[in-house]
Amino acid sequence: MNRRRHSALALAATLGLCLTSVACGESADDGADATAEDERCNDEFNGPIDPSALIDDLEDGNGQIAQVGARNGSWWISTDDTAGLVTPPADMAPPAERILGKRCDSEFGMHVTGADFSEWGAVFSLGFRYTDKEEAIDVSDFDGVMLWARVGESHSSNVRIQFQDSTSHIEGGKCNPEDGNPDSCWDGWGSDLEPLGTEWQLYKIRFDTLTQRDFGLQGDALDLENVYAIDFSLDANAVFDVWLDDLWFFE
């Protein structure tokens, strides 16, 4: 699963990312703030009503996503294999990390830090299904994905969320596994997470607004019936310190 990724082109514009600009920290220190926090921490913002929409809440602390329906995959970190450092280490399922002070009712999230990769950077991925190889799932019942994220103060990278489908994923059988060709793999459908900040924010990403970066095989639209993975792409020559939490599909 050491998937080689290519990110030679500048990151795409921020089309398609709707941001609900609410923060959910642990800083409430008076009654008014506490009331505001209660509102931000309500069920609507922190998890799906439909249990089949849960992708992962990380609360079991391990690197496997929530086992829902056909979904049995795991989190994974890949890098360009240059001399950078990443924590947790690449090429294994990373454990979740305890959130000091919690985020609403959430006690665990995914936390990746690193720096100094010099070719294309690193990618933090969530594979939906695995048998003896990576498999696709059908997400056509849903309109998109919601998640919480924040970054650390030293963070200097873009974070592109992208979806790998039958066009861009090597197991789709259409794209060229070799980098640098007009039909190369891994040109997933995505958008930058923006704006990023050190407070937790809720991001709502609609499938019908995502674009490819135009370095590999191009499709007409994200193939909703064959989606393999969600990637969070991190830039080369940058410092990254990213938290992710509570990912779910929405209709």
| Residues in contact with Ca ion by the rule CB under 5 A | 57-58, 60, 62, 64, 106, 108, 245
The Cα 199–Cα 13 span in angstroms is 23
Which is nearer to Ca ion, 125 or 212 (by Cβ)? 125
- In the complex, what is the shortest distance from the CB of residue 115 to Ca ion, in angstroms, rounded to a whole number? 25
Within 13 Å, how many C-alpha atoms sit on residue 201's CB side?
19
**CB of residue 149 vs Ca ion: minimum separation in angstroms?**
12
Nearest-CB residue for Ca ion? 106
Q: How far is the CB of 200 from Ca ion (least distance, A)?
A: 11
Long-range contacts of 61-64 (CB under 8 A, 24+ apart): 61/95, 61/96, 61/98, 61/108, 62/93, 62/95, 62/96, 63/92, 63/93, 63/94, 63/95, 63/96, 64/93
Shortest reach from residue 160's CB to Ca ion, in Å: 22
Instruction: Using the minimum distance from each CB to Ca ion, give the nearer residue, 56 or 235.
Output: 56
- Measured from the CB atom, the residue of 58 and 126 that comes closer to Ca ion is 58
Specify the residue, 68 or 238, whose C-beta has the smaller distance to Ca ion: 68
Nearer to Ca ion, 63 or 190 (CB): 63
What tokens were used for 50? 């439909």
How big is the chain, counted in residues? 251
CB of 56 to Ca ion, least distance (A): 6
CB of residue 228 vs Ca ion: minimum separation in angstroms? 19
In the bound state with Ca ion, the residue whose beta carbon lies nearer, of 107 and 165, is 107
Contact assessment for residue 124 and residue 93, using Cβ atoms and an 8 Å cutoff: no
